[in-house]
Chain A
Amino acid sequence: MFDEIFAEIPILTLLLVIPLIGAVATLFMGGERQKYAKYVAGAFSGVTLVLAILLMFVDNTALLSENYLWIDAANIRISFILEMDGLSLLMVLLTALLVFLVVVFSASESDRPNYFHTLIMAMELGLMGVYLSADYFLFYIMWEVTLIPMYFMISWYGGPRRHYAAIKFFIYTHIASLVMLIGIFAVVFEAAAVNPGVIADFSFAAVNAASGSFGEVFQVLVFGLLFFGFAVKMPAVPFHTWLPDAHVEAPTGGSVLLAGVMLKMGSYGIIRVALNALPDGALWWAEIILVVALISIVYGAYACIAQTDLKKMVAYSSINHMGMVMLGIAASLLYVKYAASPDASIAQIGIMFAVFQMFAHGLVTAVLFMVCGYTGHALGTREIPLLGGLAGKLPAYATFMMIGFMASLGLPGLVGFWGEFGVIFSFYVAAEAMGMIWLIVFCLLSIMLNAGFYIWAMQRTLFGRETTKIDLSHVHDVSKAEGFALAVLCVIIALFGIWPDFALGYIETFVANFAIPGV
């Protein structure tokens, strides 16, 4: 219904331009004006969110693609290509929503609020770019654009060990990006090499068209490079230790964006880049991906149990939940690899629910980090042993925490359940093809452990006797702005939980057009 309007404007480019303007505008709001920075950031992120929502109603998919030639040197062509399909749409929606809510939630940020909001808007620019670009060069640039604001976010606005955490985050993920970049160069130049006379075109389409001619060894080696780059970002065990440190030190807004949307860049990259460009490589690596996924799931869940810092526990739970995403991807690959006569549509299940899980985790983890953030700044500590019986004094806080925890542990009726349900089902299908259905025991164990650490954490923070270890006399329940951001997320979590088809519909059209390796 909005098709006529959108035909006139380059809406995808606007999704990048608006945050960019917002970033520049807030950057120059120093001095007296800095207290207005949040309104500027709110306005720009709000407009972006509205645009992203309107995109859901576009019927003519031709409008969701923009292509401008950028660099056309003698042997190299780099384009500014933005494309949107079901996968991108969900990620863009998630980004726009979380950025807006982070701005709302951080309304009381008083330390250089203009720079804080500049960093948020810059991150939005980078994230939108990553999820929309269909050109490797643009993709990589945008990938790096997300990194730098996050680094400053941690090192300027973070906790006591912020410098250590920021530099660790930066070096770790930067090394991963470099490895990924080598992989990107490899596929782009190999695509040019296998077709004599063709110049090195960085667009996804050019590489995907040539990927059938890539040699087996090349695919296996380069998939390894890309997979490493993306697995660090997700993060997968054993490349995950930057994450808990980064989260513990990052400010709430940074944590929400880091866990809510930046981690998804990793799984997005695997699906969008690695599987498409290197299908044979993906199939060769399938078992390794499975093992990494299962280890992340079980290891992540166990690590949560031992944490005493509420935020660190939530950070480790991301490793568990992103492991589920990787498991869905592995399930699709393994089904194709092992089924006697793989059915093309059954092969889609894993990727489909992996995407759903990404979306679900983004929503849920935002609530979790907001709740943890509130705990830290309102109570002065996030150490679980120091808390207790808070439900009596802080009923709204307790309610939000409970909804967040329940959604995260996969309670049906909330969005988290469907991601887990679908991924484990896809894995059951793959495991049956492999003749090893007992493997789903690991997933069931993970569900059990999730229930265990969340319920135990609630028992120790919200229930039981009211703590006397910290002074609660001046503590107020969540503010109106915080409550608004949390309530919006909770409503959305319930909405998608009751009717998952709102999101599954978009994913279905995406996977229907997605080339599953080997099918």
Chain B
Amino acid sequence: MFIEYTWLIPVIPLIFFVIIGLTGNKTPKEGGLIAIIGALASFVLSVLVVYEFLTGPAYNGGVGYVTDAVTWFSIPGGFTLTLGYYVDGLTCVMLMFSSLISLLIFIYSIGYMHDQGKRSRRYFAEVSLFLAGMLGLIISNNYLMTFVFWEIMGLCSYLLIGFWSFRHPEGDAASDNAASAAKKAFIVTRLGDVSFMGGLFVLLYAFQSLDYVNLFDPAAIAAVDTNLIVLATLLLFGGAIGKSAQFPLQDWLPDAMAGPTTVSALIHAATMVKAGVYLVARSYPLFVQSADVMLLVGLIGGITAILAASMALNNMNIKKVLAYSTISQLGYMIMALGAGGYMMAIGMKEGNAALIAAGAAGYTAGVFHMFNHAFFKALLFLGSGSVIHSCGTEDMREMGGLGKKMKWTSITMLIGSMSIAGFPFFSGFWSKDLVLESVMKASEYGPEGYIFMIIWILGVVTAFMTAFYMFRMWYMTFAGPKGHATEHSHGESPSTMTVPLMLLSIFAFGSGFLILFGLDGIITISPDSITGAFIVGMHEGHGAVHYIEELFTNPYTYLTIVLALLGIYIAYLMYSKFSVNPGKFNKEGESRLYKALEKRWWFPQLYDWISWKFGYGIAKGVDYFDRNVIDGTVNGLSGSVVGSGESAKYVQTGNVGNYASIVMIGVAAVFVAALVLIYYMGGM
């Protein structure tokens, strides 16, 4: 009943984008109200679709998905490209958190953007398009459509990160900074997109289609050369690396903080960076064809997690800390998907059902962490937005002692911080420990399994760092003596901003419990025992007892809990009690490690070097070659044909007589040529 209208979910915000773009200034709140109505409509429709799907026949004993499509266009040779929707368990979970969080962010934006005047229209038009991009990507039934919406999101992130790229309220330097950040975000993610596009070509030629139903069909997969699938998955993963800010393309995300904080919340929680993780999860049937690919996925995730966490340790900018934490958490998700896929790939090769089930648990852990992260990261960003809105600065050294002035913000932020730090029973605790457990389990299998042991260690160290830097942020902002900016702050933000915070904090605390009540049954993946087709969801869920038993009988769970508490305690000593001076880790500013972190492990320099060497440098050479060698030859030749020196000068004087003579030469040449030809042809 509603499921046939799934396609409307992205179309609604798309239409509202056009409406706001054309008429925004004449509508209430400069288009803000329209944007909220659009997001609300999408959310309600999503809820209806999800409810109908989960209670419908397809999910309960059927094939596990509902899909429908129209032909978009076809390419000679039997290649058909379609436009349509594809709903399964993964789609449901993605739809729920994306549309809900976007809705809350839109409501919050009314308060946050109220002083932007006419610019609000641009903002609300662009965020509507952004939402349309994410929702379209989620419901898409094929890779091409996914790619189109993927790129639309890329465009929107470019526009929104660069929202203040001209006439910035804080002056010219800030404008320049925003413009440069937007450029960097677009070009770096574009590198991944190009890789994704390459994957499309490989898949399209191999399968003659890009529809998920055709590509995930085990018979079709078996008919295609495995090397091609490996190539395609590597290229798709390249796309995910760009979009989800994984090593080595992670460096665009911290710069992206130049945009409004609500945009950061949107990018980090509900849209954009989740798309890469989603792509890997969605493509699982292809990815699990090779354990080696999955090993690489896991490794990239592990490296990303610790690399990003390290850079958050000494950063003074509240938004940058959160940006690094996002990258780090995305690393967890990718790491879990890699570990799960690794086990599943080996399990399928060996026909080991237990191993396949363990792989499915890894998939569940990755998607579950994405789900939880969406809520607590939205909360944290909106909370930081509330702080910045009130203090007018992003530098945590100028804050401090804000807790008393901003009670709701500080409490909700504390919940978010506890969640991401993995404090027991908060949402991040459940999913992070499931991720680490899967990685640990993966290390027991296969000849390269020991690499997962390394990844696990990276993950555990990251968990400690996360707890530390999150509480360092919280203490620096809300505890301790009042900072310079705190004195001048406006106090608590308006209720359009605090109410979304409260709602989100409920989810940020509680979303983890959903796994005890059957969420895992929806976000699991397993090959059907008869057909071999991959089915997402359609499981009962392991239930509360299973998870509580699994987590609390596992000694490593206690290890991560202890590490998290230790991290929080150290942060407390350093930034609230001040009994440990953080400065002693950077004696006289000489610490090399400290400098490395400040320089972001020199990634910005690396990017600059590459774009300089392989971009501008070659371009300069080409330009020189073009002007001197090629054009020089042309001008030299024409000089010798038309006549050098004197007559060449005539050519450039604009004397009409000369042009006429050139035309005459041309005509004469034609006749000579014709005569020669006719003679050659045997005198016609």
Interface string of A384-411 (1 = CB under 8 A from B): 0000011110000000000000100001
A192 touches B619 (CB 8 A): no
Other-chain contact of B183, A406, A456, A499 (Cβ < 8 Å): A456
A463 touches B166 (CB 8 A): yes
Q: Which residues of B contact A448 (CB under 8 A)?
A: 187, 190-191, 194
Asked whether any CB of chain A lies closer than 8 Å to the CB of B186, the reply is yes
Other-chain contact of A511, B76, B194, B652 (Cβ < 8 Å): B76
CA gap between A306 and B627 in the complex, in Å = 12
Interface residues of B toward A: which range? 35 or more
A452 touches B615 (CB 8 A): yes
| CB nearest neighbor in B for A148 | B663
B75 touches A171 (CB 8 A): no
Segment at the A interface, from B405-413, B438-446, B576-584, B674-682: B674-682
Task: From known contacts A164-B652, A444-B197, A448-B190, infer whether A186 and B677 are also in contact, taking CB-CB under 8 Å.
Answer: yes
Q: Which residues of B contact A12 (CB under 8 A)?
A: none
B663 to chain A, nearest CB (A): 8
B620 touches A181 (CB 8 A): no
Q: Which of A431-481 contact B (CB under 8 A)?
A: 432, 437, 440, 444, 447-449, 451-452, 455-456, 458-459, 462-466
A306 touches B622 (CB 8 A): yes
B677 touches A189 (CB 8 A): yes
B634 touches A455 (CB 8 A): no
Q: Which residues of A contact B162 (CB under 8 A)?
A: 463
Segment at the B interface, from A79-87, A98-106, A119-127, A345-353: A345-353
Other-chain contact of A412, B151, B182, B183 (Cβ < 8 Å): B151
B616 touches A428 (CB 8 A): no
Asked whether any CB of chain A lies closer than 8 Å to the CB of B626, the reply is yes
Task: From known contacts A303-B619, A464-B175, infer whether A452 and B201 are also in contact, taking CB-CB under 8 Å.
Answer: no
CA gap between A240 and B83 in the complex, in Å = 40
Q: Which residues of A contact B611 (CB under 8 A)?
A: 452
Task: From known contacts A167-B652, A413-B148, infer whether A192 and B684 are also in contact, taking CB-CB under 8 Å.
Answer: yes
CA gap between A241 and B627 in the complex, in Å = 8
Asked whether any CB of chain B lies closer than 8 Å to the CB of A224, the reply is no
Q: Total number of A-B contacts with CB less than 8 angstroms?
A: 186
Other-chain contact of B615, A303, A421, A449, A508 (Cβ < 8 Å): A449
B673 touches A349 (CB 8 A): no
A303 touches B626 (CB 8 A): yes
CA gap between A178 and B684 in the complex, in Å = 21
Interface string of A159-202 (1 = CB under 8 A from B): 00001100110111010001001100110011011000000100
A303 touches B670 (CB 8 A): no
Asked whether any CB of chain A lies closer than 8 Å to the CB of B654, the reply is yes
Asked whether any CB of chain B lies closer than 8 Å to the CB of A155, the reply is yes
B77 touches A412 (CB 8 A): no
Residue among B76, B618, B630, B682 with the most chain A CB within 10 A?
B76
Other-chain contact of B166, A200, A237, A412, A464 (Cβ < 8 Å): A464
B175 touches A465 (CB 8 A): yes
Q: Which residues of B contact A170 (CB under 8 A)?
A: 659, 662
CA gap between A238 and B673 in the complex, in Å = 25
CA gap between A130 and B217 in the complex, in Å = 49
| CB nearest neighbor in B for A353 | B75
B616 touches A451 (CB 8 A): no
A181 touches B670 (CB 8 A): yes
A346 touches B77 (CB 8 A): yes
Other-chain contact of A75, B75, B179, B684 (Cβ < 8 Å): B684
CA gap between A434 and B115 in the complex, in Å = 60
Q: Which residues of B contact A455 (CB under 8 A)?
A: 158, 183, 186-187
Asked whether any CB of chain B lies closer than 8 Å to the CB of A273, the reply is no
Q: Which of A246-272 contact B (CB under 8 A)?
A: none
Q: Which residues of A contact B634 (CB under 8 A)?
A: 172, 241-242
B165 touches A464 (CB 8 A): yes
CA gap between A37 and B314 in the complex, in Å = 69
Other-chain contact of B674, A185, A349, A429 (Cβ < 8 Å): A185
Asked whether any CB of chain A lies closer than 8 Å to the CB of B134, the reply is no
Interface string of A126-168 (1 = CB under 8 A from B): 0000000000000000000000000100010000000110011
Q: Which residues of B contact A417 (CB under 8 A)?
A: 148, 151
CA gap between A305 and B653 in the complex, in Å = 32
CA gap between A448 and B682 in the complex, in Å = 54
Task: From known contacts A155-B654, A451-B187, infer whether A306 and B201 are also in contact, taking CB-CB under 8 Å.
Answer: no
B176 touches A464 (CB 8 A): yes
B73 touches A306 (CB 8 A): no
Asked whether any CB of chain A lies closer than 8 Å to the CB of B573, the reply is no
A432 touches B622 (CB 8 A): no
B666 touches A178 (CB 8 A): yes
CA gap between A389 and B674 in the complex, in Å = 58
B615 touches A305 (CB 8 A): yes
Interface string of A289-320 (1 = CB under 8 A from B): 00000000001001111110000000000000
B604 to chain A, nearest CB (A): 16
Residue among B166, B616, B673 with the most chain A CB within 10 A?
B166
A463 touches B178 (CB 8 A): yes
CA gap between A392 and B169 in the complex, in Å = 12
Asked whether any CB of chain B lies closer than 8 Å to the CB of A343, the reply is yes
CA gap between A455 and B184 in the complex, in Å = 9
Q: Which residues of A contact B631 (CB under 8 A)?
A: 241
CA gap between A512 and B677 in the complex, in Å = 35
Other-chain contact of B165, A193, A299, A463 (Cβ < 8 Å): A463
A459 touches B77 (CB 8 A): no
Asked whether any CB of chain B lies closer than 8 Å to the CB of A419, the reply is no
Q: Which residues of B contact A500 (CB under 8 A)?
A: 72-73
B190 touches A451 (CB 8 A): yes
Interface string of A492-506 (1 = CB under 8 A from B): 000000011100100
Q: Which of B398-425 contact A (CB under 8 A)?
A: none
B205 touches A429 (CB 8 A): yes
Asked whether any CB of chain B lies closer than 8 Å to the CB of A283, the reply is no
Q: Which of B628-684 contact A (CB under 8 A)?
A: 630-631, 634, 638, 642, 651-654, 659, 662, 666, 669-670, 673-674, 677-678, 681-682, 684
Q: Which residues of B contact A231 (CB under 8 A)?
A: none
CA gap between A437 and B178 in the complex, in Å = 39
Sample of 16 more A-B contacts, CB < 8 Å, known A302-B622, A455-B186 = A76-B684, A151-B659, A155-B654, A163-B652, A163-B654, A172-B638, A181-B670, A185-B674, A193-B681, A241-B630, A305-B615, A306-B623, A345-B77, A349-B75, A440-B201, A501-B72
- Identify the A interface with B (CB < 8 A): 75-76, 151, 155, 163-164, 167-168, 170-172, 174, 178, 181-182, 185-186, 189-190, 192-193, 200, 237-238, 240-242, 299, 302-307, 343, 345-346, 348-349, 352, 389-392, 406, 411-413, 417, 421-422, 424-425, 428-429, 432, 437, 440, 444, 447-449, 451-452, 455-456, 458-459, 462-466, 499-501, 504, 508, 511-512
- Top 3 closest pairs, chain A to chain B, by CB: A463-B179, A305-B619, A306-B623
Question: What are 27 residue pairs bridging A and B, where the CB atoms are less than 8 Å apart in the complex?
Answer: A76-B684, A155-B654, A163-B654, A168-B638, A171-B638, A171-B662, A172-B638, A178-B673, A182-B673, A186-B677, A189-B677, A241-B626, A305-B616, A306-B619, A343-B77, A352-B76, A411-B151, A413-B152, A437-B202, A444-B198, A447-B197, A459-B165, A459-B183, A463-B182, A465-B173, A500-B72, A511-B76
